Amino acid sequence: MLNYSEFLNMMPEAFLVLVLIMVFFADFCLAKSERRLEAVGRMTMTLLLVQTIMLTTAGPSEAFGGLYVATKAAQVMKLILTFGTLIVVMMAQPWLENEAKKYAGEFYMLVLSTLLGMYIMLSSGNFLLFFLGLEMASVPLACMVALDKWKKNSAEGAAKYILVATFSSGVMLYGISFVYAAAGTLYFGDVAAVLSASPLAIMGMVFFFSGLGFKISLVPFHFWTADTYEGAPTPVTGYLSVVSKGAAALTLCIIFMKVFQPLVCYWEYLLYIVIVLSITVANLFAIRQSELKRFMAFSSISQAGYIMLAVVGNSQMGIAALSYYVAVYVVANMAVFTVINVVEHNNGGRTDMAAYNGFYQTNPKLSFLMTLALFSLAGIPPFAGMFSKFFVFMAAAQQGSAAAYFVVFIALVNTVISLYYYLLIVKAMYITKTDTPLPTFQSDGHTKVALAICTAGVALFGVCSCVYEWIAAAGL
């Protein structure tokens, strides 16, 4: 018999469902009000802030006989993702007011629905619940990509996302069926107890990884990324690049360490190949880009490779390094996309790199903040990105094998390459001359707050050791 009191053990998910209902009714009741966008937007931001604060005290919990298992590490990642979602909602306000006012309510509902799906992914103790959470996150994301449906690129990006997502879901389900055939159960703990290195189990693991590799944009599962990032509205692109990637990466890390641990000698070498390909291929393609959102798409593929370095370590340090990397990546990447959003909506929708020529002459503050964020993404000290890369390198090197050291070396070499293409944007803003410089932009209050939060994170997350220590204390 179902014990409904166990829903009390799912407080983050339960409160987020309550937030969804409240935002839905607020949007419905204020449908004809001129202040609908402002009221619903502030309500959504306030509730997300409350959710973030609540998650700081959330502990591990379990419900429904192990179907739902929320570890302390999963609760920390939920906090990071909720924090990232809050920044996305803030930076989206100018776009909603100017271009998508009619769909503002739908945007808030889709963002919250996707976040709920990611919560379920992170707290799943069973492959079927995990798959349901994955689809709960993927379907609203496809709708968000297509919100600019009057633009050709948006519809094209959404179509490619849906087609590849459907195919990857089928591949993942195929892999899960192999795991079930090999283990006779879908509960993570039970699978780990009986799984052996049989051909059936190995094929199931490979297919499962292939399906989830799509969500993380790892090479060779990355082909959708550039077109979808370019076609989606800029706030949605920012959301895709950090929030969904973080949830999928930690879930993959936990499942590999807890469920596929008996197959570690197989998936480690699979990860080595994918990491080297992701970082190297993405960096080489990023150098060739002149459209900034496509540029950031290949940057995100490269960053996904660095995130996966933490999984190679196969240890508690790897979990902590991965979560910390995602936290730093959220603030740095969202700072870049917030500036892109400001320029796009004040310069006729332009997102090409040439639009930033001489940007420092008229917008020195925005140029400075974008430079800090780009330096953090490149891993330049003393910004937080340098510390996050250091910890994932340490986690991978802790594995101790010659192959792990080789992968870390390749990642270090690619860090130098990434510095070159990030500096191309800095060069455009500070050095490249233009006869028609952009006017001085006046950002709205929400954008200023989002940029202030992101810049503070870029500057302080690395210096304040308590951030990493708090994440590391979460455990597996």
Per-residue CA distances from 361 to 30, 140, 373, 404, 449 (Å): 42, 40, 19, 45, 23
Q: What percent of the chain is modeled with pLDDT above 90? A: 12
Structure confidence at residue 399 (pLDDT):
75
pLDDT digits (tens, 9 = 90+) for 358-403: 888 888 888 899 999 999 888 888 888 888 888 888 888 887 778 8
Nearest CA-CA partner of 80 in 444, 388, 448: 388
Structure confidence at residue 223 (pLDDT):
81
User: How many independent structural domains does the chain possess?
Assistant: 1
Residue 217: both structure tokens together: 């944009």
Structure confidence at residue 5 (pLDDT):
66
Q: Which residues of the chain have pLDDT under 50?
A: none
Structure confidence at residue 114 (pLDDT):
92
Structure confidence at residue 266 (pLDDT):
84
Structure confidence at residue 86 (pLDDT):
92
Residue 16 lies in domain: 4-472
pLDDT digits (tens, 9 = 90+) for 180-207: 998 888 888 888 888 888 888 889 899 9
Cross-strand bridge partners of residue 69: 62
Which residue in this structure is represented by tokens 């960053």? Answer: 303
Give residue 12's identity as a one-letter amino acid code: P
Q: Dihedral of CA 324/326/327/332: which sign? A: positive
pTM of the shown model: 0.92
